[in-house]
Amino acid sequence: MNRLLITILVTLLASTGLFAQLDPASLALRAYTNKDLAKAQELIELAIKEEQSAALAKTWYFRGYIYKDLYKEDRFSSAGHEKRNVSIESFLKTIELDEAKEFAGDCAQSLKYLSSTLYNDAAGYLDQDRMDQAQDFYDRYKTLENKINPEMDFTARDIEFMLYKASKLSVIYEKASDPAEQDRLSIDIVNLYMGVIKLDSNDIGANYNLAIHYYNQGVNIIDNMDYELPFDELFKIQEKVMELFTKALPFMLKAYELDPTRKATLQGLSGIYFGLSDIEKSEYYQKELEKLESNE
């Protein structure tokens, strides 16, 4: 248990005596230290309804801790998430009321912890392919971090989140059979990679993955072409595919510029140029790849 909470409790008991009348917040703290979280929750809710208690930073501080532990007991349900929200709200309220900065350090530490759980939940939802929830929790994480540390630079985190989300969406995209869904997913994937490139044009992962996304889109279109298609459709579809290969090229070239010895990039360039009927360049990058492999 937190040392400050124990100190407060000991002080309270020493000043009032074990059997003296305690205010609801102090009673809640006592229940909390006795590990009776349900009682502590009940009492702290009474405390915040009393005008005098509600005006004290310590009341909200206790509430933050009680709800943080309630959340820890139930961290994977929406009820648990709601308890985390109450904990966050309470710690923020503590900071607002704590003019003496008595609880500032503790609150910051707890909020940091809660913020990290929001980020982890966002990543966990991505793992489960629940994109909307993942985005929601990531946004909450950022909102909270902004409150704790308004100077925080989110660039690295944003890049990490967007790259992971895009890679998960790509897996869904590859499995999707409905063209409308594929189109929708493709827009999201491109926007995410472009978002990363806007933040860091030298991000090799975003450049490479975006190129591969465009290339695979083109290849999938060709792979799904039926032999019964009217002749002139071959040209129309080819035009669309060429457009995708052309879009892929600058991003793969950028990935190559950033790391000319990455095998996947050399293979990508060879494939894109081959698709664009530039056999000479395709063979050049294929030979570069073979040289690299022979030197291993």
Partner 1 sequence: MAEAQTMNSSVNPRAKMKSLFIYKFAQAIEWPEAYKQGDFIIAVVNDDDLAKNLEIAAQTKSLNSQPVVVKRYNSAADVGKCHVMYISGSSASEVVPYSTKAKQYNCLIITEAPGMIDRYSAINFIAVGGMIKFEMNRKLFRDQDLIVSNSLEKLAASVVN
Would you tell me which residues interact with partner 1 (CB under 8 A)? 123, 160, 163-164, 166-167, 170, 205, 208-209, 212-213, 215-216, 218-220, 222-223, 225, 227-229, 231-232, 234-235, 238-239, 241-242, 245-246, 264, 267-268, 271, 274-278
Which alpha helices (H) appear in 224-262, and where do they start and end?
231-258
33 vs 167 by CB, closer to partner 1: 167
151 vs 223 by CB, closer to partner 1: 223
Q: How far is the CB of 201 from partner 1 (least distance, A)?
A: 17
Q: How far is the CB of 133 from partner 1 (least distance, A)?
A: 17
Contact 248, 269 (CB under 8 A): no
Q: Is the dihedral of CA 115, 120, 123, 127 positive or negative?
A: negative
Q: How far is the CB of 120 from partner 1 (least distance, A)?
A: 11
37 vs 276 by CB, closer to partner 1: 276
110 vs 286 by CB, closer to partner 1: 286
Contact 186, 213 (CB under 8 A): yes
79 vs 187 by CB, closer to partner 1: 187
The DSSP secondary-structure symbol of 103 reads S
Q: How far is the CB of 155 from partner 1 (least distance, A)?
A: 15
Q: How far is the CB of 206 from partner 1 (least distance, A)?
A: 9
Q: How far is the CB of 222 from partner 1 (least distance, A)?
A: 5
Radius of gyration of the chain (CA): 28
The DSSP secondary-structure symbol of 23 reads -
87 vs 217 by CB, closer to partner 1: 217
Q: How far is the CB of 235 from partner 1 (least distance, A)?
A: 7
The CA–CA distances, whole Å, from 241 to 12, 217, 246, 247, 291 equal: 75, 8, 8, 10, 30
76 vs 231 by CB, closer to partner 1: 231
The pair of structure tokens assigned to 35 is: 């590990």
Q: How far apart are CA 64 and CA 84, in angstroms?
A: 9
Q: How far apart are CA 169 and CA 174, in angstroms?
A: 9
Contact 25, 62 (CB under 8 A): yes
- The torsion defined by the Cα of 231, 234, 239 and 245, in degrees rounded to 10, comes to -170
